[in-house]
Amino acid sequence: MYYTDDQSRNPKLGSFMASFNTDYNIVLPTRELEASYNAYIVELGDEERYPFVMDFEQQPFQSLITRLQDLASGKVVPEGAVVNHTYWLVEQEELVGVGNVRPKLNPAIARIGGHIGFGIRPRYRNQGLGSYFLAQLVEKAREHGVSPIHLHCHASNTASSKVIESVGGELESHIEDAHQGVIRRYVVHA
């Protein structure tokens, strides 16, 4: 569900969200979507996976679910990472997108990464779902006390830039990184 208070924050986005298909839901990772998750991974092929938790070993699947829960609780956080809350965008029994909210950033992720990372399954792209999902993730970040919300993407990824701008992201800066290239750094104010 889209939150009405965001409609007043960004009227353009509010109109878009009000007209969107409400058959999509944001859920916590669940074993019930194992087949759809595995199909999503196959569909990605050699494509870089976003967010980084998509690179976690997925078998046995319950171990993946436990690992995501441990990452959210702070029980087990990989070196260089921070607490991440993983959310799945689903339509009925199909996994459509995966997103992470990082309430607190370390210096490296504050520089390149930001508070939210997400991806949309290839066959669901170019349908407005990126904007829909990111709006939901922005609200989740607010629920975790994040303000302002920093969102980053590769400068070459114009689709991500447009999605970030659609949820009220304002370009704050560009940085160049020897490994990542040019990164566009946006901010969404409360």
Question: Shortest CA distance to 178 belongs to which of 112, 106, 126?
Answer: 112
Question: What is the pLDDT at residue 96?
Answer: 97
Spell out the domains of the chain, with CATH numbers in brackets: 4-148 (3.40.630)
Question: What is the pLDDT at residue 167?
Answer: 96
Question: Shortest CA distance to 190 belongs to which of 2, 5, 15, 4?
Answer: 5
pLDDT single digits (tens) 94-140: 999 999 999 999 999 999 999 999 999 999 999 999 999 999 999 99
- Could you give the CA distance from residue 35 to residue 165 in angstroms, rounded to a whole number? 33
Give the mean pLDDT of 2-25: 53
pLDDT single digits (tens) 21-48: 568 999 999 999 999 999 999 999 999 8
- Could you give the CA distance from residue 22 to residue 79 in angstroms, rounded to a whole number? 38
pLDDT single digits (tens) 68-100: 999 999 999 999 999 999 999 999 999 999 999
Q: Are 177 and 187 in contact (CB under 8 A)?
A: no
Local structure of 33: helix, strand or coil: helix
- Could you give the CA distance from residue 3 to residue 32 in angstroms, rounded to a whole number? 26
